[in-house]
A and B are shown apart, each in its own frame.
Chain A
Amino acid sequence: MAAVFVPPSPQTSMNMSTRRPLANVPNATNSPHRTGLVPAKRVRSNQLETSYGQPPPKKQVMEAAENGARSPTQNRSSVAQGTDSKLFARRPNNANPSAFEKKLVAARDKERQPQVKSVKGEKPSADTLDTIRQWQRHYRKAFPQFVFYFDSIPDDVRRKFSRQVIALGAREEKFFSRLVTHVVTSRPIPAGVPATSPTELEAPNGANGDAHVQTVNPSLLEKNTNSHLSKHDARHDQGSMDVLQRARQMNMKIWALEKLQRMITTINDDDIGGQNNDAVRSKNADPTKSKGWAGLTPLDRALMQERLNGPSDRDLFSSMEMIVFKGPFLYIHDMNEKTKPVMVREYPRVTKRQDGAWPQFRSAPLGKCPFVDEPPSRKEYDRHRMRQAQKEKKASAAKAEPRAKVSQTAVEQKPDTKVDAEPTKTKREEDKESSMKAEIPSKPLLDETHERKSSESFIPPHFPRSGPFYTGREPAASGVQPSNVTSAIRSQMISSTAAAPGAKAGLSKEIHGLKRKVLERGTGSIANGNGSMAAPERPNGLAMHLKSQHNHNAKSKAPETRHTPEEDSHPGESAGMKRRRADSRESEPKKPERRRDPKPGYCENCRDKFDDFEEHTLTRKHRRFAQNAANWADLDALLFEIQRPLKEEYGYDR
């Protein structure tokens, strides 16, 4: 098996990619290098790409920009790209790579010589940046003229995007009408349609066309030769009342939700837009020519490949800015870069490796976890102190309550603001939050009082980083995917909704977070104890480091850094979460007098997050669910089957 892994030479790869049978396999066809060689597939994607004028497509920006009032250089390049895309659009069945494509391939191969990789420092060449900036400028200008209609998009997601597009000056139309210029959908965009390079087509369309096309790009004229395709569409669409078809008929743009997301991200990316490097401009009419290509960083190359190969999931990859590893890291990612890395984590560089913050096999005392580096004496000390503290607190429990309540609220809100600010957090942080949440119900309020609100609240719970002689600290199950019926960490906290079909969309990020690492109650309190007392240095340091690193990485305006992007982030999640959180905040003050600790969690049945388990179970919504026999019919059928067999003489029961 090991041999499998030898990175093949480019030649080999090219040969491999001729394996036709694989063309049927979605995975395989996504390789950008299949370009010239598996034409049918590629063509289709190219069409898609050109028609939807990929967003962050930093490179391809130009073709999306219809607006001609720019430097000659740009005009030239836009023409070049325009033709390029037109070329693809026109050749729905081109079986052979064009000369242009071949050139690209050649260039790429030549270029494959490892170059000094400076990622992120790896600024895209000035050329590219310039292009991107142009693109940004264009769209920032254009957005105010856009009227969006969201089709088949869950409410919370819609709200989030609505806010974002409004922030950029656009409008949202709640109902589909002629005013709409852009339809954003989560459904597959009707096939066949994409061929219409809509970017360009919007211009001639009376009603709204003028609004956002300020000048006429020469390439537009040519592109309208695609009108035969429109005709085809029209025919195709007869009788269809589907919004997407209608939109197509009315020459509205149809964007996939992902596209909108990328557009927004790129438009808002000040890292690129903010820079003022106008110095270098390409002398090449065609930026993809070998020179331009050779100067490109891997990212740019990826961008080029994206242009050539059309959008696959990997598009997203290629358009992404990279965060450079500075210290030791673990990085596990999809070999086809179609999905988010399964794991990424970077650790601070250390001079002596024993000091590294990652788990290391150490000579721990017998019986103890070898990956935990912790002097037992400290542990004992902690435990002792903790017990002591708890005893004390227990004594003053009743009194402490109101105060504790406040602090708990504070804690809960803290993550809240963070959430607002950063829809996607690092896993660590989520974990921290989730585990905090998890702990809340499990702990007497007492403990929370002082430790919770300190900055240490964000330290990841200190798990059994210690020995086995510890009672009550076994790991609980976790890691449930929402797509899984059977899995949940702790139902009151989390749950997977896949069990209930269609529930996924409404799952908030936070809920995903919650299930990630839920501690048992006992463990939770221990973790907490550690947090408050002499917290072990290592986890602390790590957390702090990660945090600062996070901040560092997130210095750009869009703080979407993820060290561990292994969780799913649906665009709408943060919105949904905010909403829920807002709700929870409202409900908070309502119950100041409760004796019991409220247990927050998530109800799979109501698909609601709640602050207080008991309270939730009494809500009308929940009661209604509980009392509706239809919800339980299947289960009842099973229960009937598993009745306990009564002895004959007791035949009365049940």
Chain B
Amino acid sequence: MSALRAAPTGVFELQRSKEGDERTSLGEVTQGASDYEEEEEEEEEVDESVREDMTKLEDTFPGISDRFRLVNRIGEGTFSTVYKAEDLLYDHYHNDWDIFGQAQEQEAWASPPSKRRRVEGEHARHKKARYVALKKIYVTSSPIRIQNELELLHDLRGCRSVCPLITAFRFQDQVVAVLPYFPHTDFRIQYRTFMVADMRHYLRSLLTALHSVHEHDILHRDIKPTNFLYNPDLKEGVLVDFGLAERQGSEYTGACLCTHQSYVRRSRILSSYYSKNPPAGGLSTGYPKNDSRSSRRANRAGTRGFRAPEVLFKCTSQTTKIDMWSVGVILLTLLGRRFPFFNSADDIDAMIEMSSIFGTRRMKTAAAMHGQIFETNVPTIGEKGYSWEKLVKWSSCVEDLTESEQQATRLLAGLMELDPTKRLSAEEALQHDFFTNPVHHDVEWGGNPEESGESAEDDEAGEDEADEVAML
């Protein structure tokens, strides 16, 4: 992993590439950035259509070009495009947000020094270009949506590891949010090389961010590697893209069964239509043809493969725990060395994938929590499913897990817990042994033990978590 590819692949979602070529913006930009990062933008290869878009933005947004010089497009999000831009008036403002900029200087990070003639010391500082990310929100977004995102970001200002909002402007229907430009490494490069210790840093930073977000009763709803810009040198990341975020409870369309005490749930389930009309063979034989009933409505916003089970079950009382599931998926990806771990072309596929791991029995219980009946006879879905340990071993193709991997796997079990009430919160997760009492018995992936100290501690840790493991 070339130490740091300051891939400006987006302070926000770095996904889409506009041109049909799947590699375009990602590939080009990433490369351009890693080679020349921090150098003259002129050297950055800018696609013509991108340039056109940037010019258009500068032309149609009065005053914007006085403040920023657009450099390149670095990402396209769900309802926005993100540009890298030089912050021309950086020095006119108090830039309390710029903790990373300061870090930048200190560490002279990223590409080899040879390429970085410009950064030579404090005196060079004024000339040094300051970059920000401009998030241009599409004009078809409603003011309420925009407001929601900005407001949440504003509420979260000062939270560690949460991408700060520098400011935002509007001209008529055009809204541009100004965010820090945060160099980071593409997850697709990271996940293959991460050792457990790296995972720990990654997760600690992510969980720290989520802890703050959740403390504010905000659900991010779209936790995934793309939205967590991690810089392995700093061992810090920032959580971005609050476009789907919401305040907990704001979306409730009625209390889901899962909000009730378990005895209430139980009795409701027992007196449900299904319980009283159990299908003959134990499985329903069919489903209604012309179904005119209304749909269960619940917010399902999120990214496939990262949606928590309750989201798939259309729970109407989703909590911040949905984000914790997604963290679990990231950890699973890292431990299993597979990205994406879940393919989940759609929610149904996601459910089947999840079920293949958990087995029908646990899925039924999970569904019942939300007033749903889970039925399947898909032959590859077993009744009991697999334990996480087995799964991690299996997917990372190893015979045995190292102690530290085992520890991480226990954390994983706490995160990817079907029952949201039992799932670890961000705060709890940060208290997990994985962080507080880490086993530093790390092995380079596919390699040999690097170090093997502290394995004694590990056993105790193992005891602590036995319950969780047993549950599997």
Interface flags for B296-324 (1: CB within 8 Å of A; 0: not) read: 11111111111100011110000000000
Decide: A486 and B246 in contact? CB cutoff 8 A: yes
Q: List the one stretch of B103-111, B197-205, B371-379 in contact with chain A.
A: B371-379
- Give Cα A387 to B24, complex, Å: 11
A5-B364, A368-B338, A521-B17 given; A484·B251 CB < 8 A = yes
How far is the CB of A446 from the nearest CB of chain B, in Å?
7
Is the pair A471, B22 in contact by a Cβ cutoff of 8 Å?
Answer: yes
Residues of chain A in range 283-301 having any CB-CB distance to chain B below 8 Å: 298, 301
- With the chains together, A306 CA to B278 CA distance in Å? 17
As a 0/1 sequence over residues 2 to 29 of chain A, the CB contacts with chain B under 8 angstroms (1 = contact) are 1011011010110011010010010110
Interface pair B292/A261, CB less than 8 Å apart: yes
Task: Mark out the residues of chain B between 327 and 373 whose CB falls within 8 Å of any chain A CB in the assembled complex.
Answer: 336-349, 351-353, 355-357, 361-362, 364-365, 367-369, 371-373
B133 interfacial contact with A, CB 8 Å: no
Contact B291 A565 (CB under 8 A): yes
Choose from B20, B154, B364 the contact partner of A2 (Cβ within 8 Å). B364
A336:B375 contact, CB within 8 angstroms: no
Interface of A is mostly: loop
> Is A144 positioned at the interface, with any CB of B under 8 Å from its CB?
no
In this complex, what residue of A is CB-closest to B257?
A27
Convert B241-264 into 0s and 1s, putting 1 for each residue whose CB lies closer than 8 angstroms to a CB of A: 011111000110100010000100
Asked if A367 contacts B338 (CB within 8 A), the reply is: yes
Residues of A within 8 A of B140 (CB): 491-492, 495, 601-605, 613, 616-617
**A206–B279 CA distance with the chains assembled, in angstroms:** 49
Within A483-498, which residues are at the interface with B (CB < 8 Å)?
A: 483-492, 495-497
In the complex the two chains form, is B151's CB within 8 Å of A638's CB? yes
With an 8 A cutoff between CB atoms, is A222 at the interface? no
Closest to A559 in B: B290
Report the nearest B residue to A469, measured CB to CB: B188
CB atoms of A495 and B372 under 8 A apart: no
Residues of B within 8 A of A386 (CB): 22
Among the 9-residue stretches A84-92, A188-196, A238-246, A622-630, the one with 4 or more Cβ atoms under 8 Å from chain B is A622-630
Residue B458 at the A interface, CB < 8 A? Answer: no
Q: Are A567 and B21 in contact (CB under 8 A)?
A: no
- Residue contact B170 to A566, C-beta cutoff 8 Å: no
A33 at the interface (CB under 8 A from B): yes
Residues 14-71 (chain A) with a chain B CB within 8 angstroms:
16-17, 19, 22, 25, 27-28, 30-34
- B162-195 contacts to A, CB under 8 A, are 165-170, 172-173, 175, 178, 188, 191-192
Give the number of A-B contacts (CB < 8 Å): 534
Query: Across the interface, do A488 and B141 meet the contact criterion of CB distance under 8 Å?
Result: yes
Residues of B contacting A478 in the complex (Cβ-Cβ under 8 angstroms) = 301-304
Q: Is A405 close to B, CB under 8 A?
A: no
Q: Does B395 contact A (CB under 8 A)?
A: yes
Q: A358-B380, A476-B13, A526-B22 are in contact. Are A622 and B168 (CB under 8 A)?
A: no
The answer to whether A522 and B351 have CB atoms under 8 Å apart is no
Q: How far is the CA of A316 from the CA of B286 in the complex (A)?
A: 15
Could you say which residues of chain A place their CB within 8 Å of the CB of B245? Answer: 486
- Whether B16 pairs with A647 at a CB distance below 8 angstroms is no
A593 within 8 A of B: no
The winner among A8, A484, A617 for most chain B CB atoms within 10 A is A484
Partner of B347, one of A2, A114, A343, A626: A343
A626-B173 in contact given A442-B18, A634-B147 (Cβ < 8 Å): yes
Assess whether A472 is in contact with B288, with CB atoms less than 8 Å apart: no
Contact A627–B22 (Cβ < 8 Å): no
Could you say which of B266-274, B404-412, B427-435 contacts chain A? B266-274
Q: Which of A476-518 contact B (CB under 8 A)?
A: 476-481, 483-492, 495-497, 499-500, 516-518
CB neighbours of A613 from chain B (8 A): 138, 140
Decide: B273 and A344 in contact? CB cutoff 8 A: no
Q: Which residues of A contact B14 (CB under 8 A)?
A: 474
Q: Whole-angstrom distance from the CB of B272 to the nearest CB of chain A?
A: 4
Q: Does B26 contact A (CB under 8 A)?
A: yes
Contact of B92 among A258, A344, A460, A647 (CB under 8 A): A647
With both chains docked as a complex, state the minimum distance between the C-beta of A238 and any C-beta of chain B, in angstroms. 34
Whether B301 pairs with A361 at a CB distance below 8 angstroms is: no
Within residues 74 to 129 of chain B, which ones have a CB less than 8 A from any CB in chain A?
Answer: 76, 78-80, 89, 91-94, 96
A371 → B minimal CB distance (Å): 4
Q: A634 vs B170: C-alpha distance in the bound complex, in angstroms?
A: 12
B158 within 8 A of A: no
- Residues in B with CB closer than 8 Å to A316 are 291-293
A-chain residues with CB within 8 Å of residue B243 when the two chains form the complex: 477, 486-488
CB contacts (< 8 Å) of B380 on chain A: these are: 353, 356, 358, 360-361
A360 to B382, CA, bound (A): 11
Q: Are B376 and A331 in contact (CB under 8 A)?
A: yes
Residues 626 to 654 of chain A near chain B (Cβ within 8 Å): 626-627, 631-632, 634-636, 638-639, 641-647, 650, 653
- With contacts A322-B289, A617-B173, A635-B175 known, is A487 near B244, CB below 8 A? yes
A338 at interface, CB cutoff 8 A: yes
Interface 9-mer from A95-103, A115-123, A170-178, A226-234: A115-123
B145 at the interface (CB under 8 A from A): yes
Closest A residue to B138 by CB, please name it: A491
- Asked if residues B250 and A485 are in contact (CB atoms below 8 Å), the reply is yes
B15 adjacent to chain A (CB < 8 Å)? yes
Query: Is A585 in contact with chain B by the CB < 8 A criterion?
Result: no
Within 8 A of B (CB), among A264-319: 265, 269, 298, 301-302, 313-314, 316-317
- Count of chain B residues near A, Cβ 8 A: 158
Which single residue of chain B is at the shortest CB-CB distance from A350? B379
Within 8 A of A (CB), among B5-36: 13-27, 30
- Does A534 touch B at the CB level, under 8 Å? no
- Does chain B have a CB within 8 A of A329? yes
Q: Complex Cα distance A561/B362, Å?
A: 30
Shortest CB-to-CB span from A312 to chain B, Å, is 10
Chain A 519-538, CB within 8 Å of chain B: the 1/0 string? 01111011011000000000
Q: Which of A114, A337, A471 has most chain B Cβ within 10 Å?
A: A471
Question: Is A314 in contact with B303, judged by CB distance below 8 angstroms?
Answer: no
The proximity string for B residues 217-256 relative to A, scoring 1 for CB distances below 8 Å and 0 otherwise, is 0000110111000000000000000111110001101000
CA distance A478 to B349 in the complex (A): 14
Q: Select B338's contact among A313, A370, A562, beta carbons within 8 Å.
A: A370
* Chain A residues closer than 8 Å to B268, beta-carbon distance: 22, 25, 27-28
B residues less than 8 Å from A321 (CB atoms): 288-290
Closest chain A residue to B395, Cβ basis: A370
- Compute how far the CA of A86 lies from the CA of B12 in the bound complex, rounded to whole angstroms: 65
In the complex, which residues of chain B have a beta carbon less than 8 angstroms from the beta carbon of A370? Answer: 336, 338, 341, 395
Q: Which residues of A contact B143 (CB under 8 A)?
A: 605, 631-632, 634-635
Q: Which of A1, A119, A330, A484 contacts B376 (CB 8 A)?
A: A330
| A169 partner residues in chain B, CB cutoff 8 A | none
Interface code A393-418, partner B: CB below 8 Å = 1, 0 otherwise? 00000000000000000000000000
Also in contact, A447 and B20, with CB within 8 A (given A491-B140, A562-B291, A635-B147): yes
* Complex interface residues of chain A between 323 and 348 (CB less than 8 A to chain B): 323-325, 328-345, 347
**Residue in A329, A338, A499 whose beta carbon sits within 8 Å of that of B142 in the complex:** A499
A443 in the interface, Cβ–Cβ < 8 Å? Answer: yes
A380 within 8 A of B: no
Contacts A/B (CB < 8 Å), 26 sampled: A4-B368, A8-B270, A13-B275, A30-B273, A262-B292, A302-B277, A317-B293, A324-B286, A329-B376, A330-B351, A343-B351, A359-B353, A367-B339, A387-B21, A444-B19, A476-B303, A486-B243, A487-B299, A487-B301, A522-B21, A561-B290, A605-B143, A625-B173, A634-B143, A645-B93, A647-B93
Q: Please give 20 more A-B residue pairs, beta carbons under 8 A apart, in addition to A370-B341, A517-B345.
A: A1-B369, A2-B362, A7-B278, A13-B275, A16-B270, A117-B280, A316-B293, A322-B288, A325-B286, A329-B376, A330-B351, A330-B378, A358-B378, A481-B301, A488-B244, A521-B20, A601-B140, A632-B143, A644-B166, A644-B178
6 residue pairs, one from A and one from B, having the closest CB atoms: A491-B79, A487-B301, A114-B280, A320-B288, A626-B173, A479-B300
